[in-house]
Amino acid sequence: MATLLALLMCLLLFSALPCCAAAASPSRSSAPSAAPTPLVPALFVVGDSTADVGTNNYLGTLARADREPYGRDFDTHRPTGRFSNGRIPVDYLAEKLGLPFVPPYLEQSMRTGVSSVGLGNIDGMIQGVNYASAAGGILSSSGSDLGMHVSLTQQMQQVEDTYEQLALALGEAATTDLFKRSVFFVSIGSNDFIHYYLRNVSGVQMHYLPWEFNQLLVNEMRQAIKNLYNINVRKVVLMGLPPVGCAPHFLSDYGSQNGECIDYINNVVIEFNYGLRYMSSEFIRQYPDSMISYCDTFEGSVDILENRDRYGFVTITDACCGLGKYGGVFICVLPQMACSDASSHVWWDEFHPTDAVNRILAENVWSGEHTKMCYPVDLQEMVKLKQ
């Protein structure tokens, strides 16, 4: 077993070299060809591995999904950097909005250069940019144990750089209008627990009780939302955290006997989500020309876990791709480690859901099709609001 794990780790380290970033995000032509008239000008994405579409393909990190079997059920049937067997929620939401799949910021900046100006150079970002980076957290140090990543603070700087590039090419008035009418999707925070607080990095648990740590994170998130507001962003979908304590990694790590979720972890996450929802409602009160829709990923995910038969899932505890109990001991690095039918599983790997779950969650964000997740309005209603 030790020999096998050593071999798998070598393969993982080899695939994490920046020079191997050939499996980039699919081009915009990969999106459905029969594109309707977009409901908004653009979709911009800030986040972690729940929203990364290939950012980490360009970074030296262990947190990469540019290798098989990732992406095997994606539109192109190849790995793209998405942490799933297929699409992630932002792909389904882009489709709902009538937009092409949103490309990673680093792909765009490497192709044109960050300082490039002109209509030709902004073509790749005019309908949106994805800044999300796997292992990235609200706090800059979260996820550092995995290597390079783009934290929330760094992503905010990339958003501001994008605004400046667009303003130089389109003009200030046109860029202001573009940002006001576009949707910003924000999904980040899990790594602040998975790779920081729960691991007690730098003795953080000695300095912060769980509620104090959550308040720290929520305050940082509020500042990020305020930074977006300052550059004329008015429509934000703010995703809460999923039931992290139900992920195969923690079921295995905490010795769950019969697949019971780890209550301690989920309770901390629930408290964070409550703070995030309260913050968003207070922000709207303070800035009534803004609309932040908080979407409860925890609530939507628990609905799936508790009603697996209705949704057609066979297992809600075991990862489709992984090793050890619940597939949560070692990460997915080889096609031979994956199950044959990911659609029967809730979890794709030790932390991330399958394409089937991502579709359900996206449909809930869009219209509450299966269960209400978003407050005060879902995305379908949000895009109808006039600025």
348 close to 335: Cβ distance less than 8 angstroms: no
Which of the residues 49, 151, 187, 256 is marked catalytic?
Answer: 49
Give the containing element (helix H, strand E) for 235: strand 235-239
Pair type for strands 345-347 and 183-187: unpaired
How far, in Å, CA of 325 to CA of 318, rounded?
Answer: 8
Phi, psi of 74 (to 5 degrees): -70, 170
Which of the residues 48, 352, 355, 378 is marked catalytic?
Answer: 352
How far, in Å, CA of 52 to CA of 45, rounded?
Answer: 9
163 CA to centre of own chain: 21
User: Is residue 141 flagged as an active site residue?
Assistant: no
362 CA to centre of own chain: 12
Which of the residues 52, 349, 355, 378 is marked catalytic?
Answer: 349
How far, in Å, CA of 110 to CA of 129, rounded?
Answer: 13
Dihedral in degrees, nearest 10, Cα atoms 375, 377, 380, 386: -140
User: Is residue 349 flagged as an active site residue?
Assistant: yes
CB atoms within 10 A of CB 172: 12
How far, in Å, CA of 129 to CA of 203, rounded?
Answer: 36
34 close to 50: Cβ distance less than 8 angstroms: no
C-alpha distances in Å from residue 170, one per residue of 105, 157, 274: 19, 20, 39
How far, in Å, CA of 50 to CA of 353, rounded?
Answer: 9
How far, in Å, CA of 98 to CA of 87, rounded?
Answer: 16
Beta-carbon contacts of residue 231 (< 8 Å; ≥ 6 apart): 159, 160, 163, 179
C-alpha distances in Å from residue 381, one per residue of 146, 179, 298: 38, 18, 21
Q: Which positions are catalytic?
A: 49, 349, 352
